[in-house]
Amino acid sequence: MGSAVQLRIRWRYGSYGVAYCSVLGLFPLLFAIEAGLHGSIIGVAAALLVLGLLGATAWRCRLVTVVGDENGLLIRNFGWTQRLQLDEIAGFRSGGSGWEWPGRAVRVLRKDGSTVVLVATGRYSSSERHEGQLAQLERWLRAPARRG
């Protein structure tokens, strides 16, 4: 049974990621055509593999989002998707680490002390939009309907 979505934050650069991968995809496409004209099956296969990886990256860029409902958060980052239940979430904080995610991003503070980066909120500098997303996440977590 589906839960009513109460919060949705999309990565604002998702469309740029698709455009970037599409432009980059022209190079392996041209390489595949050239390799095919010269009868190189390995060249065509390698170019199509690169083209497939770029397509998968573009697809994943469009999926980067954070969705909150009455049960918890669904976090779709580049490489993985994770669901955190409400009882696992202690709060949110702003900040980034060069080791985990470049620039600033909102992190979910888990009750076990670990954090999860929300790539959908990522920025390379502080902005009002970034602080607004942090406040939106805090309001979602503290909503009266969830207090029981």
Indicate if the pLDDT at residue 101 is higher than 60: no
According to DSSP, the β-strands at 81-85 and 65-69 are unpaired
Average pLDDT of the chain is 84
Indicate if the pLDDT at residue 140 is higher than 70: yes
Contacts (Cβ under 8 Å, ≥6 apart) of 117:
77, 96, 100, 101, 105, 106, 107
Report the range out of 2-6, 49-53, 100-104, 129-133 with the highest average pLDDT: 49-53
pTM (2 d.p.): 0.75
Q: How confident is the model at residue 147 (pLDDT cuts 50, 70, 90)?
A: very low
